[in-house]
Structure 1
Amino acid sequence: MTTTAAATRTPAAARRTADRTTRALLGALAVAGPLWAAVSLTQAATRDGFDLTRHPLSLLSTGALGWLQITNFVLAGILLVTGATGLRRAIPSRWAPRLVRITGLGMFAAGVLVMDPADGYPIGTPAGMPATMSWHSIGHMVAGSITFTALIAACYVLARHFKAAGARGTALAATLSGTALLLGDAWAMTGGPAGSLTLAAGAITAMCFLTATALHVRR
């Protein structure tokens, strides 16, 4: 009888363990966006010579304190990749977790591959963009493009998922978040005024939507 009771309890215990693991993984996804945004914006506000209307947040990875932003990118990437596993366990969408994982891998690569100093930052750097780009700066640009494309797609895929699930408000938020990053990136790529600011706003909006998604499905 003891063996039977233990066998009866085992599946329930396994489910509870799996649920706790999934919640922990989703917790990593929930932390990624706000942590990345807070560390980035704090540095943007306190670094001498940094101007968010002219300088992308990635430029914070240069200079004496560049290791802070490098670590911020790498940690955010790890949290996103980890959280993608939790998202795969929590929702039936096939592509949303994959796209979140690609976003995380892109963030990690963007942290490791540092862009070149440019446009007066760090202080002492000549104005304008450098005449030539290093291999790691080119790699950073490629990693950033992959990150943003995957993140935009993830928001739109999640919008479709939540709409099918009847969560129309969350679906609308997903669409608006993806569109904010799409427009912010496009404006920056075309050299529009304050393009780095619109890009940062779009990226933070989309990243924080992943936080909202993680908290939503955790419930």
Structure 2
Amino acid sequence: METSVQSAGSQPVATRLLLACGVIAPLLNSVVILILGAIRSGYNAWVVPDSNLELGEGGWIQSTNYIVTGALLLAFAIGMRLLLRTGRGSTWGPILLGIYGLTFIVTGPILPDPSLGYPPGASSALTIHGAIHILFGQLQFISLIAACFVLARRDAALERRGWSWYSVATGLLVAASDVAFVLTAKLLDGGPTGLIERIGIIGSGIWIALLAIRLMSKQSSIA
């Protein structure tokens, strides 16, 4: 069985700060999209995806949220790589989470096309920047799902089966929410697409935050 290269208690301050970004990032993203979705005039959080909050009055807030969240996730991935020196997932886990963070940074300034009635009266015709936004949105889901399974294999190898199954369950939840989101948007022309998407966002955010806490904890270190 692998042993820790460095215990959490002896982690450099810089590394711990980078790892702490993994707790802050999903909390920030979830709080912002929930608050904006609740107060934005004409926006129906039950139906409309969170990325549409980048459009309309005050859209800069959501764009900024994406960029800051992405930067925090990228910092977390760097801290994770500094800690996980050897073993399964020590390279690809941080890389995949780094890609996940970068997709947030990219989708910040590259706005989506209007869809599902928001903003009201706007054209939903596909544009180049809208297509790029969709492409990186799908890369976001794929990189996160892959990270879940990569780190599940690491935990399984370290005989931490509870955490391994939790990572697998999170990966399946994100995959299911993505597929259900696309099908609901296409087949039902709306429906609870916003709710379905938020279930995946919040579920995966909890997983990332717990992962970061585990990495900072001496008792629960997966390094």
Question: Structure 1-normalised TM-score?
Answer: 0.86
Q: In 2, Cα distance between the equivalents of 1:53 and 1:161?
A: 36
Q: 2:164 aligns with which of 171, 181, 184?
A: 171
* Secondary structure of 1:54 counterpart: coil
Match of 1:5 in 2: none
Question: Structure 2-normalised TM-score?
Answer: 0.84
Unaligned runs of 5+ in 1: 1-14
Find out whether 1:80 has 2:78 as its counterpart: no
Match of 1:10 in 2: none
Match of 1:104 in 2: 101
Match of 1:3 in 2: none
How far is 1:69 from its partner?
0.4
* Secondary structure of 1:125 counterpart: coil
Runs of 4+ in 1 over 3 A off after TM superposition: 123-126
Match of 1:205 in 2: 203
**More helix, by proportion:** 1
Match of 2:16 in 1: 23
Structure with higher Rg: it is 1
Match of 2:120 in 1: 123
* Secondary structure of 2:12 counterpart: helix
Specify the code of the residue in structure 1 equivalent to 2:148: C
* Number of residue equivalences: 200
Q: 1:45 aligns with which of 38, 42, 63?
A: 38
* Secondary structure of 2:74 counterpart: helix
* Conserved 8 A contact 1:62-1:114: yes
**Range with bigger deviation, 60-69 or 157-166:** 157-166
Specify the code of the residue in structure 2 equivalent to 1:105: L
How far is 1:31 from its partner?
0.9
* Identity within the alignment, %: 31
Q: In 2, Cα distance between the equivalents of 1:49 and 1:160?
A: 44
Q: 1:59 aligns with which of 31, 52, 67?
A: 52
Match of 1:113 in 2: 110
Deviations 1:44-98 (CA, angstroms, capped at 9, x unpaired): 1111221122100000000011001000111111011111011112223211000
Find out whether 1:35 has 2:28 as its counterpart: yes
* Secondary structure of 2:108 counterpart: helix
Q: What CA RMSD, in Å, does the superposition of the two structures yield over aligned residues? A: 1.7
* Secondary structure of 1:190 counterpart: helix
